[in-house]
Chain A
Amino acid sequence: MRADRREEYSLTDQQRADRLLPVVRERVRDHRDRCAAYDRILTAIDTSGHPGTGLAALPWLPARMFKTHKLRSVAEHEVFRVATSSGTTGERSRVFLDQAAAAEQSRRVASAFRTVLGPARLPMMVVDTRPRLENGAMAARTASVVGLLPLGTDHTYLVDEDGRTDPRAVTEFLGRHPTGRFLLCGTTVMVWHHLYPLARDHGIDLTRAVLVHSGGWKRLHEGGVDDATFRSRLAEVSGLTEVFGYYGMVEQLGTIFLGDSRDDTYYCPDLAQVIIRDPRTWSEQPVGVPGVIEVISALPTSYPGNVVLTEDLGVVVGIDDGERPGRRFRVLGRLPRAEARGCGDAGGGPR
């Protein structure tokens, strides 16, 4: 096997810290040279947001900066692709990739998933609609699917434009691929609301499938569905047992925090690290204590996204003690957005 799990997820926590630090430091310096706005930020801020040593001492940017500002470290004419995502508030993060960065991020996504999919491209079913441009932009949900398309062949979409699932599409797909593994992917919510009922009601056999899914759990948790329920119910109705979540964000495109094969914890790829910060003191939380997730990645070369404070809450649950080496962390939910309750709301808002 050309790519095995050692290739992308091989470093212990200490090895990772040692290797990443000089690389990311160099990236930060480089972005300062080439992105004036980023340099102005780092010149202006004190060190209160990133107390600590080593990787923890690197200055982070709040993820939302990529929504409010155009931060790029390449000349405008070198921009090959602009990746966007929409937040819940409708603003979009914009991340600028030159050709080299775009190629590298695709390679990283592929090699991350090869550690669970194997070297060959598998026939692929997408639990979503066919990606479609709307006003020149792609919906965030479909955009996350598009990044995975190179992993598979015979892309088959299970949901039509009206949000209905088509059992025939699955039957035909299975008919075309009667043996061997195949890939299923989609957001966690789509899998639960579309794939699960489809498999349950039509007795679809997914024993040969490997599912990769990502996205928020909020809606599922509200319905009383956690990772364990998700896994056991899918297994009961369809025989699906190979299930991997992943965590990632447009602000660090290509950095895939891959999930454990049995639960909802994630591992960092070798080029990345996760730090949980106490949002009051900003110092690093010890294992087991929740805080705000900061993600560090060596990958971004065309925009200053190497050290990003997410708006997710999380907790490191273990170090070098899981299926893969390094930190094992869980995402606990979104940080609520602070509202500008200015003298500006007299008539507003539904009750």
Chain B
Amino acid sequence: MSTLVERLCPDGPPTPAERVPPLVADSGLAVGDERVVDVLASLSQTWLGARARADHPELAALGFFLRPAQLTAMRAELTGSGDGVRRPVGLVLHHPPSNVDAVLGYAWALSALCGNRNIVRVSGRAGALTARILDDIATAFATADPVLARTQLFVGHPHDDEVTDALARSCDLRVIWGGDQAITDLRRAALPAHARDLVFPNRHSLAVVNAAAYLDAPGWQRARLAAGLCDDVLPFDQAACSSPRALVLVGAQPTATAAWRDLRGRIRAEVDGRDLRLDPAMAVEKRVRGYGLAADGVAGTVEFDGEVMTYLGVPDPARLPRDWLGAGVLAIARVDECGDLAALLTDRHQTLGHFGFGREELRALCRSLGSRRLDRVVPIGTALTFDRHWDGHDLLHEFTRHTTISGWVTDAQ
């Protein structure tokens, strides 16, 4: 018997995989479709609401991203009068990550705004936030134009080649949010000749602070930086690809030491003010990883600052660990100047959070990277802020097809 696909939203009976794509066969949506804009605007309102915000702060960010002004601007861009026309790509199959639940919301919303039919595969390991997002979408669909329920579908299914194949066969665009293994596995299911993949492989990120600029900054600015670092580090168990795992201080040794001493104290104050709890398994995990790096000679010091934060002093910046080290762990290293950062950046670095550097310094750093990937250079505190540009892709462009038009005669009035 073939594996059945669970229909999570809109809900329906378990369905054989080959009968899932026809459920979203209605091709009645246009790019920037008003009916989609209405639903997204109402979801935005829900997610910006006090209750949602209290349960899941990540939802507020999603709600803010989908605020009416932003929707209007994106809609205008999609439907604008360039030298051509943007249209939906067709059926988009999404494999969002199970760790950063909110990505499911962003990716689906942008693709729906582009007028696509969407099938979103919800991971069985997804957490409470995903369940909340699906609930809210189901509620919104209930009062929305029925075209939504005929074009958008969230499904669950066990890992099963038959199901993966059946869904892949019918899509025009497949979106896979890493990691590398998942991408490799899912790519075994062939797409139709015309279809393509948009993949987000394993990435990692780091934060850099200009030590001298930090010491020159007024107290309020230092405190804001500490809060920003916490915003970047603490959500999603620090496991998002844009979560910084290392903090590199740039400057001479005494300056860097003084800056770090001050910043560390401010992070502690910030964390203490947030009243966070670390679950016991995570506390042990952090010890295993930190002790392991000490055993390997990578970390010269392993310091636990309160219950939440752990700092690994890495004397040789070239050996900065890149793997996930648990929630609330920063590897701390120092380099002399901004240009030295280039040597630390690998092809897998995605986001560089920065403080205290000039525009030209950052541009020169990026230029010196050659073809190595680094997609985002953002102020510390905004590493996790989702943008329609992600991993170097403009999602509004990826989620639409562009028909070029040239050689026209003037339209009749």
Q: Which residues of A contact B (CB under 8 A)?
A: 37-38, 40-41, 43-46, 48-49, 61-62, 64-65, 68-69, 71, 279-281, 292, 309, 311, 335-338, 340-351
Contact = CB atoms under 8 A, between A and B. Distances in A.
Nearest to B177: A346
Contacts of B278: 280
A49 B286 CA distance: 11
Contact of B186 (A61, A338, A346): A346
Given A62-B287, A348-B123, A349-B98, A343 B241 contact: yes
B326 A338 contact: yes
Given A343-B240, A347-B176, A38 B156 contact: no
A342 B280 contact: no
A61 B291 contact: yes
Given A48-B304, A61-B291, A347-B186, A340 B283 contact: no
B406 to A, nearest CB: 39
Nearest to A64: B288
Nearest to A349: B125
Given A349-B125, A351-B124, A342 B284 contact: no
A348 B125 CA distance: 8
B277 to A, nearest CB: 8
Contact of A351 (B157, B277, B324): B157
B297 interface: yes
Contact of B288 (A45, A48, A62): A62
Interface in B266-306: 277-285, 287-288, 290-292, 294-297, 299-304
Given A341-B98, A348-B182, A45 B202 contact: no
Contacts of B185: 347-348
A110 to B, nearest CB: 33
A341 B285 CA distance: 13
A164 B411 CA distance: 85
Given A64-B288, A338-B282, A342-B324, A69 B295 contact: yes
Query: What are the 7 tightest A-B residue pairs by CB atom distance, in nearest-first order?
Result: A344-B179, A351-B124, A341-B99, A279-B280, A44-B294, A347-B182, A338-B285
22 contacts: A40-B296, A41-B291, A41-B294, A45-B291, A48-B303, A49-B287, A62-B288, A65-B291, A68-B292, A280-B277, A335-B281, A335-B284, A337-B281, A338-B327, A340-B239, A341-B99, A343-B202, A343-B239, A346-B96, A347-B183, A349-B98, A349-B125
A45 B313 CA distance: 10
B125 A345 contact: yes
B292 A65 contact: yes
B200 interface: yes
A307 B391 CA distance: 45
B119 to A, nearest CB: 14
B159 interface: yes
B115 interface: no
